[in-house]
Amino acid sequence: MKKLTLASTALCALIAAPALAEEWRPTQPMTMVIGFAPGGSTDIQGRVLARTLEEYFGQPVNVVNQPGGGGAVALTRFLNAEPDGHTFMFGVQLGLTFSPIVTEVAYEIDDFRYAGTLVGGQFGVVAAGDAPYQTFEELIAYGKENPMTYAQQLPMDEAIMRIIAEQEGIDLAIVPTGGGGGMAPLLLGGEVDYAFSGGTHAQYTPTGEMNVLAFLTAERSPFYPDVPTLEELGYPYAIDDFRSFFLPGDTPDEIVEAFENAARFAVEHEPFVETTVENTLHPIVFMDAEETEATIRSIREANEALMAQ
């Protein structure tokens, strides 16, 4: 994975600049589909991204929310979108890397094109700040002596915790939470011992109310450089998710290229970066079109392997 440094982007911008004149440009207002309800982090990032894209493409960008099934509803509807570049999606990859494994959906990875990644995820395991364990190792040691409870959000994180609990001999009960909003009261109210967090922890770590014990992602979070990943701790499991541009399957290369450049522009554009990092507390991660598609396929394989266990 390539994290864009300042220097390399500046270089990219220089190279990209002369090509701008010949690049594909929209001829009418554009529609950005977001597969989540208004107000969530995907929506907030998307709405600020829409302003950035208006600046880049010179056309108004309307945001349409099509919530449901973790993005699956929007992807299903997106199958019928015109491949002319005027309708595109911005969102998480879970609808492609996870939903098809457990649900019968009308689409597959091959049905879409992937025009670049802009935002990274930060799936982690958290505990209350006053818990008797401050690291994942301490949690495991504690669990060997005491029965424990864990609040899940995705079947994948449940699978990982179940495997680790069996391996370490921990008596673990796993409860559903119905999302990050439901996790916080459970953990802070002392109902569960530790929990999955898709990003909710960012609000609570500065006050010391929550502690991130480990990240489930393949790489450490830039916001918590001292917190290890599960893989570093010796458990060979990871769940990742990135936020990317999706385009209809028949979209021509030149349009995909234009969106790839738009993504390059956005990850350096002050308002988008600021909102993403400071307000929604997600890291900026850039990947080009090819790398985005390859990542989606490899995450899908990893998830399939995990769910098969």
Partner 1 sequence: MDFSAVGAAASEALTLASFIGIGGGVLLGYIVGVIPGLSRSVAISIAIPMTFYMSPFIAISFLIGLSKGTAAGSAVSAILLNAPGEASSAATALDGYPLAKQGKPKTALQIGLIASVMGDILATIILIFVAIPFARVALMFGPYEMAAILAFALVFIAGLSGGNIFKGLAAGGLGIFLGTIGLDNQTGLPRLTFGYTELMDGMPLIAVAIGTLALSEMFVQSEKLRYDRENMSVALKKDADDRITMPIFKRILPTILRGTGVGTFVGALPGLGPSVGSFMSYGMAQKAAKEPEKFGKGEPKGIAASESADNAVIPAALIPLFGLGIPGNVSAALLIGAFAIHGITVGPLLLRDNPELLYSIFAGMILASLIMLVLGWYGLMFFAQITRVPPHVVIPIVIFFCLAGMMLQGYGTFGLIILMAFALLGYLMKKYDYSFVTFLVAFIITPMLELNLRQSIILSRGNWEILLNRPIAMFFIACTVIALVALIIRTFKKEQAVANAPAD
Residue 44 or residue 233: which is nearer to partner 1 going by CB? 44
Span from 135-143, 160-168, 249-257, 278-286 in contact with partner 1 (CB under 8 A) = 278-286
Q: Could you say whether residue 270 binds partner 1 (CB under 8 A)?
A: no
Among 52, 6, 53, 60, residue whose Cα is nearest residue 30:
60
Q: Which stretch binds partner 1 (CB under 8 A): 97-105, 224-232, 235-243, 289-297?
A: 97-105
Asked if residue 283 binds partner 1 (CB under 8 A), the reply is no
**75 in Cβ contact with 89 (< 8 Å):** yes
Residue 3 is given by DSSP the state P
Query: CA 249, CA 251: separation in Å to the nearest integer?
Result: 6
Minimal distance, residue 173 CB to partner 1, in Å: 5
Question: Sign (positive/negative) of CA torsion 175, 177, 179, 185?
Answer: negative
Q: Which of 111, 69, 77 is nearest to 94 (CA)?
A: 69
43 versus 288: smaller Cβ distance to partner 1: 43
> According to the binding rule CB under 8 A, does residue 275 interact with partner 1?
yes
Distance (Å, whole) CA 150 – CA 143 = 11
| Helix, strand or coil, per DSSP, at residue 168 | helix
Alpha helix ranges (H) inside 115-154? 136-145
- Contact assessment for residue 104 and residue 185, using Cβ atoms and an 8 Å cutoff: no
Residues 161-190 that bind partner 1 (CB under 8 A): 173-178, 181-182, 184-186, 188-190
In the complex, what is the shortest distance from the CB of residue 150 to partner 1, in angstroms, rounded to a whole number?
Answer: 10
Cβ–Cβ under 8 Å, residues 51 and 275: no
Q: Applying CB under 8 A, does 192 fall inside the site for partner 1? A: yes
The position carrying tokens 């220097």 is 7
Q: Is 154 one of the binding residues for partner 1 (CB under 8 A)?
A: yes
DSSP-derived 3-state class of residue 20: helix
In the region spanning residues 41 to 80, those forming contacts with partner 1, defined by CB under 8 A, are 41, 43-44, 47-48, 63-70, 72-73, 76-77
Alpha-carbon gap, residue 206 to 198, rounded angstroms: 16
**Which string of x and - marks every residue 228-267 that binds partner 1 (by CB under 8 A)?**
----------------------------------------
- Which residues of this chain interact with partner 1, rule CB under 8 A? 37-41, 43-44, 47-48, 63-70, 72-73, 76-77, 98-99, 102-106, 147, 149, 152, 154-155, 158, 173-178, 181-182, 184-186, 188-192, 203-204, 206-207, 209, 275, 278-280
